[in-house]
Structure 1
Amino acid sequence: MILHEMTLPAFVTELASNSPAPGGGSIAALGGALAAGLVSMVGELTRGREKYAAVQADMDALCAKGKKYAETLLKLIDEDTAAFNDFMAAMKLPKDTDEQKAARRAAMQEAAKSTVEVPLRTLNLCAEVAKLALVAVREGNVNAVSDAGTAGQFARAAGTCAAYNVRINLLGIKDEAYAAEKRAAMNAALSVIDAAMSDLTELMEKALS
């Protein structure tokens, strides 16, 4: 079952079931993909119009990046669920002998790192989408400024949710150096989102007043 190829009603039904996956990590990726798609729409509504000729190059880049990020984030919906399933499979490994216990612990730690890496990738992409949303608000078609702002807010929410998943999965990591490195990367991405959204929010207030 490929989650990102399901119909929307089927996906929501699967999400609402008693299965723990897809869960928050996959939904963070979905939110990021929606934000990237929406910011691309604003770019498409801007480029090619004489009124916005001065920002044509920016809009071309925005559209290309937004669509690329959306495609990657859609794949991360499935990758997040796969990482969780791999961790659960590692937990079910036999533990009758000392050798089996050691192998199980090693497999669990390796799988746990994937449950950190995937949402961290989602978070980093959401930070990039937030920056694109700021460009869309600042330079895009004024008639679509609410869409650009919505893209930014979705990117921020999705990034925050991805960070939640990074943090909870880091709790199971025994490698302290690895955990510190990933936590620093997470905080750096969140700072990028905060900076972009601070400027975006200010511009939105001016545009809608």
Structure 2
Amino acid sequence: MKLIDMSLNEFSDEVDSSSPAPGGGSVAALASNIGVGLCKMMAHLSFGKKKYENLDEAIRIEFVNIFNQLSDIRQELVNLVDKDTEAFNEVMKALKMPKNSEEEIKNRNSAIQDATLFSIEVPYKTAELSLEALKLVDYIATYGNQNAITDIGVGTLMIYTGLEGAILNVKVNLSSIKDDNTKNHYTKCCGEILELGNKIKDKVIEDIHSKIS
């Protein structure tokens, strides 16, 4: 059964088990997915409301455009929940390959590198999508239904949690990559994503605290 087809209790119990997967990578993707859902909820609660309908047409058009972008991101993130566990399983599969001859060792090492790279690419995609979402939420928070302002605040925090959680998974797998160019590329990009994501998150949350104080 796919993780995304489990009930909430089933997924929670699967995480709370001796099985190493689903682990932090899948949970990070789910955290961002749920966070985006909360941000979209604010938009859902805005459509048709008088205050929203009285906004300039250009603002409403952009609002809908951002809503649709968040919908696409949310769908991609939910797919990454299972993809991350799949990536982990590929690494485990490669580690179990025979190593009784030089050729087998060579094939095993190659498979481990390929699987490890896959296990980096998946959480990195989660981090990229999370950053993309964070760049969009401030617009929804500004023009959306202010009765849901704390919901988008929680959503923002969830997205950032998914972002940083994904970065942790990228970095831990980078230690197994032999190619220095690959290591340097992901290290640099992860640092940039983390810095910008944290900056955006802090601004959104600070603005929300100001509104509700």
Q: Which region of structure 1 is more displaced relative to structure 2, 158-167 or 49-58?
A: 49-58
For residues 188 and 49 of structure 2, the distance between their equivalents in structure 1, rounded to whole angstroms, comes to: 42
Task: Report SS of the residue matched to 2:185.
Answer: helix
1:32 is aligned to 32
Does the CA contact (< 8 Å) of 1:43 and 1:62 recur in 2?
no
For residues 172 and 140 of structure 1, the distance between their equivalents in structure 2, rounded to whole angstroms, comes to: 45
Task: Report SS of the residue matched to 1:174.
Answer: coil
For residues 141 and 171 of structure 1, the distance between their equivalents in structure 2, rounded to whole angstroms, comes to: 45
2:41 is aligned to 41
1:204 is aligned to 208
1:84 is aligned to 88
Task: Report SS of the residue matched to 2:116.
Answer: helix
1:169 is aligned to 173
2:109 is aligned to 105
1:9 is aligned to 9
Per-residue displacement from partner, 1:90-113 (whole Å, max 9, x unpaired)?
A: 001110000100110011001000
**Aligned-pair CA distance for 1:201:** 2.1
Task: Report SS of the residue matched to 1:95.
Answer: coil
Per-residue displacement from partner, 1:101-130 (whole Å, max 9, x unpaired)?
A: 011001100100011100000011111222
For residues 184 and 111 of structure 1, the distance between their equivalents in structure 2, rounded to whole angstroms, comes to: 21
Per-residue displacement from partner, 1:8-28 (whole Å, max 9, x unpaired)?
A: 111111111111000000000
**Aligned-pair CA distance for 1:195:** 2.2
Query: What amino acid is aligned across from residue 42 of structure 2 in structure 1?
Result: V
Point out where structure 1 has 5 or more consecutive residues left out of the alignment: none
User: Is residue 23 of structure 1 aligned with residue 27 of structure 2?
Assistant: no
**Aligned-pair CA distance for 1:50:** 3.1
Does the CA contact (< 8 Å) of 1:90 and 1:108 recur in 2?
yes
Does the CA contact (< 8 Å) of 1:130 and 1:155 recur in 2?
yes
Q: Which region of structure 1 is more displaced relative to structure 2, 61-70 or 154-163?
A: 61-70
For residues 6 and 207 of structure 2, the distance between their equivalents in structure 1, rounded to whole angstroms, comes to: 36
1:144 is aligned to 148
**Aligned-pair CA distance for 1:37:** 0.9
For residues 13 and 50 of structure 2, the distance between their equivalents in structure 1, rounded to whole angstroms, comes to: 45
Task: Report SS of the residue matched to 1:102.
Answer: helix
Superposition CA RMSD, Å = 1.2
Per-residue displacement from partner, 1:20-75 (whole Å, max 9, x unpaired)?
A: 00000000000010011111111111233331223312321222112211111111
Q: Which region of structure 1 is more displaced relative to structure 2, 22-31 or 51-60?
A: 51-60
For residues 121 and 31 of structure 1, the distance between their equivalents in structure 2, rounded to whole angstroms, comes to: 14
Q: What TM-score do you get using the length of structure 1 for normalisation?
A: 0.96
Point out where structure 2 has 5 or more consecutive residues left out of the alignment: none
For residues 136 and 33 of structure 1, the distance between their equivalents in structure 2, rounded to whole angstroms, comes to: 16
- Overall identity of the aligned pairs, in %: 33
Q: Which region of structure 1 is more displaced relative to structure 2, 11-20 or 103-112?
A: 11-20
User: Is residue 61 of structure 1 aligned with residue 65 of structure 2?
Assistant: yes
Query: What amino acid is aligned across from residue 26 of structure 2 in structure 1?
Result: S
User: Is residue 179 of structure 1 aligned with residue 183 of structure 2?
Assistant: yes
